[in-house]
Structure 1
Amino acid sequence: MTAQPITPAAVPLRHLYRIPEAMRLLSMSRTVIYEQIRAGRLRSVTQGRTRLIPASAIEDYVRVLIAESEVHVDQAA
């Protein structure tokens, strides 16, 4: 069996996600999602009183996490 490289899965064909949906997509708690939003690492928009996460922001955030993990691996070697 050959090891397959890990690549992030594409976000489903929706443009905006509510916080609980983003929590499931990213496998993160509500607290962590809001911490990442406050830190500017995860972009969000508001519509009325609803905070929404654009699909592109989720994809960007996953790319940042992957890039950061690769830097940490390189520094450890």
Structure 2
Amino acid sequence: MDTATHLIDPTLALLTVEEAARRLGIGRTYCFRLIRTGQLESVPVGRLRRVPADAVHDYVTRLREANRPVVSTA
């Protein structure tokens, strides 16, 4: 594959599922599972499925918040 196909275009508003999976460092099938379960937002564009670029960031933010260590105040 051409190295240009591996570059991430930060100006894209909507990503293909493959592009979203690449940004998350996960497989395409797992990315579709996240979409199907509602964990990763996606939108239909005609017959296509696209992931808003900010949805990837939102998903990572939720993961980080869910996995933050609990700080004891005692």
Q: TM-score range by the shorter chain?
A: 0.7 to 0.9
1:19 corresponds to which residue?
A: 17
1:7 corresponds to which residue?
A: none
Report how many residues are paired: 63
Note the C-alpha offset of 1:74. Answer: 2.3
- 1:74 pairs with 2:73: no
| TM-score, with structure 1 as normaliser | 0.72
| TM-score, with structure 2 as normaliser | 0.75
Q: Which amino acid aligns with 2:22?
A: R
Percentage identity across paired residues of the two chains: 38
Long gaps (5+) in structure 2: 1-8
Computed over aligned residues only, the root mean square deviation of the Cα atoms, in angstroms, reads 1.7
Note the C-alpha offset of 1:58. Answer: 0.9
